[in-house]
Chain A
């Protein structure tokens, strides 16, 4: 159980998720998705640096990283669909907890992008 209870914890989870998926899609031979994940990882790293405002940091509750565990072994079409669905759900569920508009927009967009894959 690792709580996603801070802005940094959520963004670091997103960065790790995109890194894991980039490697996964590469193994699956899906280079388009792999490079999309690598780009999103860069964006999430930038958001973690730029969208943190010390005076508006607020505690976040009710989220845990275990709820978004990915199965990165199964590289079949079905497996890829499940991974994309989990990633989309992660972004969809964490976005409302973020009170910085720029960051929330990026998370919502990532949800849409994963859902569209």
Chain B
């Protein structure tokens, strides 16, 4: 019988108090891996109670001791690195290399959490006034929650968890019901840490539990990563309920390729940016703008290199691209390609009917290239979240920048060039939170904030980096005077 997942609340594995379950499938083999409960508001409330009870003791635990837990956590994750990577492949469909890279990026965030004692230090001024000293103290805030997506089932939750708890907060995690197994295994490792019960809690579920998290008065702040429409709802609902919120939304990331770019190397990198993780990442390259005569060379080199990409089951290490996450995702992507064609785009490489031998029912969409895409087409404006790269022409560099800045999204943008002047201007003028120069996936490492502008981010403080220290702490000002004699 297939495993029915349980929540992890107050240091115990407990059954959700509902009878609704959603299937968790391996998108390549269609094997049923587990069933995920749709936890209710009452389940969320149990987790909040456990987290609130744990908060008092946990915030009094010295920060070095809290960081020590992160050392142990890192060791456990390193020990189970291969298992975690395989779980990511089996539930998400990406390749083993991509899953290993994801787990490695997650470990970077644990490393960042280990550094929290340094980052929580305070500042102060003696004699701000005569005989009066003024200092700031960073304090944990309370219970934080994270609602995380399917595309990076290990990495994204770990963006938040280590920093939140090492700062002295307690934590509730609600992973995507499509890919809950990475966090199930991670919480099994957390259970081995012997943290005080309730410091970390796992609640499985979908909309019902997300809604309960947004509205629960016992939760101080929420971190979210997902689509823009949902990010907006999360932001509005959480702020209405008096919470801190960082809500990272979707994207339509543009790449400008200038005539002076090293075309072969650039295309190799663009290819990884567009088709890595089957295009299911919020930093995926979605539109490549060829400037001037770069367009034809870009298209020719892309078609040449992409045609050689090997698509297959992620656990086969010779696969260079895996599946998308589900049948629904596959259908949506295929429909968007068809809509692009209907609107006038030319399909130079069509991945709609791709079949992978031995995995005929798998959720594969082959790498797709759409040519002659214009700004008004849906494939230029809307997030596809699949292995589809749209090619657009620009007569000049300025026109390329204008096209990029016209997008409603502002997650990332990259330029491929050998001109320092153009690269500097691009960094200066383009309205996106993460800028790549000769890098297709402009993903900030854990010590930098994960940027995002326009409809790609709702909130003030970004995930990761020093922003996350501000998000997970409150600064109290102490003004002090001692009377003499």
The verdict on A52 contacting chain B, using a C-beta distance below 8 Å, is yes
A45 to chain B, nearest CB (A): 9
| Interface-lining segment among B129-137, B265-273, B394-402, B464-472 | B265-273
Nearest residue in B to A55 (C-beta to C-beta)?
B441
CA–CA, A48 and B97, complex, Å: 9
Beta-carbon contact of A54 and B96 below 8 Å: no
Beta-carbon contact of A58 and B271 below 8 Å: yes
B84 to chain A, nearest CB (A): 11
The verdict on B310 contacting chain A, using a C-beta distance below 8 Å, is yes
Answer whether A8 and B102 are a contact pair too, CB < 8 Å, given A49-B78, A57-B272, A59-B309: no
Q: What mask results when residues 1 to 17 of chain A are scored 1 for a CB within 8 Å of chain B, else 0?
A: 01101111100100000
Q: B308's contact among A6, A55, A59, by CB below 8 Å, is which?
A: A59
Beta-carbon contact of B104 and A8 below 8 Å: no
CA–CA, A2 and B441, complex, Å: 29
A99 to chain B, nearest CB (A): 9
Beta-carbon contact of B95 and A6 below 8 Å: yes
B316 to chain A, nearest CB (A): 9
Beta-carbon contact of B320 and A48 below 8 Å: no
Beta-carbon contact of A52 and B439 below 8 Å: no
CB neighbours (8 Å) of B95 from chain A are: 6, 8
Question: How many contacts between A and B, using CB within 8 angstroms?
Answer: 74
Beta-carbon contact of B318 and A53 below 8 Å: no
CA–CA, A23 and B97, complex, Å: 27
In this complex, how many residues of chain B approach chain A with their Cβ under 8 Å: the count is 30
CA–CA, A57 and B78, complex, Å: 21
The verdict on B317 contacting chain A, using a C-beta distance below 8 Å, is yes
Beta-carbon contact of B318 and A55 below 8 Å: no
Q: What mask results when residues 151 to 169 of chain B are scored 1 for a CB within 8 Å of chain A, else 0?
A: 0000000000000000000
Nearest residue in A to B310 (C-beta to C-beta)?
A5
The verdict on A56 contacting chain B, using a C-beta distance below 8 Å, is yes
CB neighbours (8 Å) of B319 from chain A are: 6
CB neighbours (8 Å) of A61 from chain B are: 308
CB neighbours (8 Å) of B81 from chain A are: 49
B44 to chain A, nearest CB (A): 32
The verdict on A50 contacting chain B, using a C-beta distance below 8 Å, is yes
In terms of DSSP, what is the predominant structure of the interface of chain B? helix
Within 8 A of B (CB), among A30-58: 48-50, 52-58
Q: What mask results when residues 71 to 112 of chain A are scored 1 for a CB within 8 Å of chain B, else 0?
A: 000000000000000000000000000000000000000000
User: Which 5 residue pairs of A and B lie closest in terms of their CB atoms, listed nearest first?
Assistant: A54-B101, A55-B441, A9-B317, A8-B97, A8-B317
Beta-carbon contact of A7 and B97 below 8 Å: yes
Beta-carbon contact of A49 and B104 below 8 Å: yes
A5 to chain B, nearest CB (A): 6
CB neighbours (8 Å) of A5 from chain B are: 310, 318, 320
Q: What mask results when residues 103 to 130 of chain B are scored 1 for a CB within 8 Å of chain A, else 0?
A: 0110000000000000000000000000
CA–CA, A8 and B318, complex, Å: 8
The verdict on B138 contacting chain A, using a C-beta distance below 8 Å, is no
Question: What are 15 contact pairs spanning A and B, CB under 8 A?
Answer: A5-B310, A8-B95, A8-B317, A48-B100, A54-B98, A54-B105, A54-B276, A55-B441, A56-B269, A56-B439, A57-B101, A58-B269, A58-B272, A59-B320, A61-B308
Beta-carbon contact of A6 and B276 below 8 Å: no
CB neighbours (8 Å) of B309 from chain A are: 59
Beta-carbon contact of A55 and B268 below 8 Å: no
The verdict on B46 contacting chain A, using a C-beta distance below 8 Å, is no
The verdict on B335 contacting chain A, using a C-beta distance below 8 Å, is no
Q: B97's contact among A2, A3, A50, A52, by CB below 8 Å, is which?
A: A52
CB neighbours (8 Å) of B101 from chain A are: 52-55, 57
CB neighbours (8 Å) of A8 from chain B are: 95-97, 100, 317
Nearest residue in A to B442 (C-beta to C-beta)?
A55
Beta-carbon contact of A12 and B317 below 8 Å: yes
Beta-carbon contact of A52 and B305 below 8 Å: no
The verdict on B423 contacting chain A, using a C-beta distance below 8 Å, is no
